[in-house]
Amino acid sequence: MLRLVSLQLIATMVAGVLAALLGGWPAMFSAVLGGLCCVVPNGIMALRLFASTKTGGANPLTFFFWEFIKIGLTLALLGATAYLYRDLNWLALLAGFIVALKSYIFLLFRH
């Protein structure tokens, strides 16, 4: 799972560079922030699940609890980004978010 989070981070940075080329600095920051709204909660969940497997095994209840926390944190980060960043480019934000969400497809094609 940590490999997936690192791939999401790389895909977010690529989306940020493309957004900078197409729309300038505000679009780049919007795309990177959109991707980070996905990467940060996934990273926290991956670390917690990794820690729970070291202490005695993964529990399905733990997985669903952290999945709920991940969704809530993702929504909170998106809301905070929309509220705090005044030069927000919504198209770039959504593009960065979707690129980060769908970056696992690259791992599927790798095997």
Each residue of 38-63: pLDDT tens digit?
Answer: 999 999 988 888 887 777 766 788 78
Residues 6+ apart with CB under 8 A from 111: none
* pLDDT over 70 at 32, yes or no: yes
Each residue of 62-100: pLDDT tens digit?
Answer: 788 889 999 999 999 999 999 999 999 999 999 999 999
Query: What is the C-alpha separation between 19 and 91, in angstroms, rounded?
Result: 10
Please state the pTM of the whole predicted model: 0.87
Return phi, psi of residue 89, to 5°: -105, 105
